[in-house]
A = this chain, B = another copy of it.
């Protein structure tokens, strides 16, 4: 699923790369308002980006899966405008903070890949914004489950029998979809009782894809896109 990387690029990236890091679930990878925030590619595990209002209300912006490039936004602001937290144990591939510029200068193809990844993440945000702004609670949750399922399945087994690993808590789903915890719970149960999906033991199974897709109404051309990796 990832585009192959030329050897020349690989060695250049190696030069800008710092030692891989392992972080346990729950670690704050980037704090809200942090300056000198790190820059890294997520190599394994799940994470999420979020913002918090003064009174504690929190919005999850999007979920990060392996291959996602994190910390780009800090290049356009003095301090990080959002937080990033590890949802599961993760492995990171951190880069020097000037790596974005170095990569653009020395390997335009990789620079283009970074732009590609930024545009791709923006497309995810667009879809989230539609959910939160215009979909009902049931539609939002159907959309989230489907999109995450497809992203995760594309990374591993495209048709997993036992479902995918699914580390989200209901609170996180609520914060991502702009709903209250109670309503999120009720809606999840509604869909589950209706036989649309099943969440159990930290795994998500899509039981009735047709029904979920009807609710979600997301454009999807079927085949997962080939994506660059930095």
Contacts and interface: CB of A to CB of B under 8 A. Distances in A.
Contact of A118 (B115, B126, B132, B135): B115
Contacts of A101: 112
A120 B76 contact: yes
Copies of this protein, total? 2
B112 A76 contact: no
A64 interface: no
Contacts of A49: 126
Interface in A94-129: 100-101, 104-105, 108-109, 111-112, 114-116, 118-123, 125-129
Interface string A43-59: 00000010101100111
B133 A177 contact: yes
A32 to B, nearest CB: 9
Interface of A: 33, 49, 51, 53-54, 57-59, 61, 72-73, 75-79, 81-82, 100-101, 104-105, 108-109, 111-112, 114-116, 118-123, 125-130, 132-135, 175, 177-178, 217, 219, 221, 225
Q: Which 4 A-B pairs have the closest CB atoms?
A: A133-B178, A118-B118, A59-B133, A104-B112
Given A73-B119, A115-B118, 14 more contacts: A51-B127, A51-B129, A53-B130, A59-B133, A61-B130, A77-B225, A81-B219, A101-B112, A105-B108, A105-B112, A111-B112, A115-B115, A118-B119, A132-B133
